[in-house]
């Protein structure tokens, strides 16, 4: 995804997880589980069109440039078919220096990964969580990361 996010991909077995810990420890509660939990708790969860959208609030930053970039990504998405996968996301400028930005659920930014105490390199992260690059699962995870 945008911003260098390392996507969850398929789940690793406990043996595959290795030294860093489970993917749930790394990424938190899976987004689909969170949506279902909140839907059940919400008095409006059964309404048609109900959705939980992952947003972050951005302050002291002009997000209008990011709106332009997303418009450009939508154009490129139509011009360049697979295997390049672009996922434009919603951005709402709420003022000249603030806005709401949709983020991709079940992802972790590279910056956040680097702040983990046991993070060594992106290559180690993929090997620890998805398996060796020669395994089908490891190869798929790497392909998905490079294509996003």
DSSP string, the chain: -TTT-EE--SPPPHHHHTTS--HHHHH-S-HHHHHHHHHHH-TTTTSTT-----EEEEESS-THHHHHHHHHHHHHHHHS-TTS------EEEEETTEEEEE--TTEE-HHHHHTSTT---HHHHHHHHH--TTSHHHHHHHHHHHT-
Match 């139509």 to its residue by tokens: 78
The pTM of the full predicted model, rounded to 2 decimals, is 0.62
Q: Taking 90 as the threshold, does the pLDDT of residue 47 lie above it?
A: yes
Q: Taking 90 as the threshold, does the pLDDT of residue 8 lie above it?
A: no
Q: Taking 50 as the threshold, does the pLDDT of residue 58 lie above it?
A: yes
Instruction: Report the pLDDT value the prediction gives residue 33, as an integer from 0 to 100.
Output: 93
> What average pLDDT does this structure show over 74-102?
83
Instruction: Report the pLDDT value the prediction gives residue 107, as an integer from 0 to 100.
Output: 80
Tell me the pLDDT band of 26, cut-offs 50, 70 and 90.
Answer: low
Tell me the pLDDT band of 38, cut-offs 50, 70 and 90.
Answer: very high
Residues 20 and 17: their CA atoms lie apart, in Å, by 7
Q: Taking 80 as the threshold, does the pLDDT of residue 16 lie above it?
A: no
Q: Taking 50 as the threshold, does the pLDDT of residue 18 lie above it?
A: no
């Amino acid at each position: 995804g945008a911003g260098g996010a390392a996507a969850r991909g398929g789940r690793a077995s406990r043996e595959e997880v290795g030294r860093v810990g489970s993917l749930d420890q790394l990424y938190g509660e899976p987004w689909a589980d969170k949506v279902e939990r909140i839907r059940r708790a919400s008095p409006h969860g059964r309404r048609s069109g109900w959705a939980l959208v992952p947003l972050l609030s951005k302050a002291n930053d002009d997000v209008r440039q990011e709106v332009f970039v997303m418009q450009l990504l939508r154009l490129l998405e139509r011009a360049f078919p697979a295997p390049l996968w672009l996922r434009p996301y919603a951005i709402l400028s709420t003022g000249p220096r603030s806005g709401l930005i949709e983020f991709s659920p079940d992802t972790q930014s590279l910056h956040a990964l680097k702040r983990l105490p046991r993070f060594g390199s992106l290559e180690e992260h993929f090997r620890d969580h998805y398996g060796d690059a020669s395994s089908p699962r490891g190869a798929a995870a790497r392909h998905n990361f490079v294509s996003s």
